[in-house]
Homo-oligomer: A and B are copies of this chain.
Amino acid sequence: MESLVNPYVSVDCVLLGFDGEQLNALVVRQSGNNGEDVAGIYKLPGSLINLDENLDEAAQRVLKQFTGLSQVNMLQFKAFGGPDRLKNPEDSVWLVRFYNLNHHIDRIVTIGYTTLLRIDRKMRKLEGGYEAQWMPISELPRLAFDHSAIVDEALKAVRAKATLDVTLLFDLLPNKFTAAQLRNVMEVVLGITLDVKNFHKKLAQMPYVVPLEEKEDGVNHRAARYYKFKKLKNKHI
């Protein structure tokens, strides 16, 4: 039947990282096989799927390739598959070069995955090898393909999940954190404003947040107490 379509299938990963102040996404240069920059444009880390892997495995392969991390829970949040995903000719040219194909690709259906990461020293080091870069969500340039829309949908999905269960945000914070850091991460991810004065009261109502004896060290404002999360059970996005 002529009218059926036999597209390629890819995964694209919206890796969201919190650096203590802002929510970032990991983006990579859209460069050719030989590392040559095609269009000065960034894209999400992603890949066409391989013959022997399922969708989750493809997402884990991409995560590993770009961050070195493995066995991090990822949320499959949406599939994107309109015929207009490849409407930009530069994206098509890039695909053929990058995957070393001898034909044009008409259509790619991509499956979006997302996860929440803490940008620590190790995650900072990523900025190099694959021309990967953490960019604040609020400052993202237009991304290749429909990747800007994919980031938006990932944020919606994460917001919905974390509104239901705040403990999912644990993965974004360091092991010990201040009340201000927790408030900030909640405000940034949930898109809400929390009252500074009442936040300590709110904190006291969170059975999964435990105050530590330890306080900040070497700060030139009043040292804030550290808190840690009590793992109720192993929950991730």
Q: Contacts A99-B4, A164-B164: A55 and B82 contacting too (C-beta < 8 A)?
A: yes
- Give the complex CA separation of A82 and B3 in angstroms: 24
- Give the complex CA separation of A101 and B2 in angstroms: 10
Bits for A1-38, please: 1 = Cβ < 8 Å to B, else 0: 11111111100000000000000000000000000000
| Residues of chain B with a CB closer than 8 A to A51's CB | 2-5, 83
Q: A109 at the A/B interface (Cβ < 8 Å)?
A: yes
Q: A54 at the A/B interface (Cβ < 8 Å)?
A: yes
Interface size range on A against B: 20 to 34
- Give the complex CA separation of A78 and B74 in angstroms: 13
CB atoms of B164 and A50 under 8 A apart: no
CB < 8 Å: which of B9, B84, B99 contacts A1? B99
CB < 8 Å: which of B2, B4, B9, B48 contacts A48? B4
- Give the complex CA separation of A111 and B9 in angstroms: 12
CB atoms of B76 and A55 under 8 A apart: no
A38-66 contacts to B, CB under 8 A, are 48-55
| Residues of chain B with a CB closer than 8 A to A49's CB | 4-5, 7, 81, 109
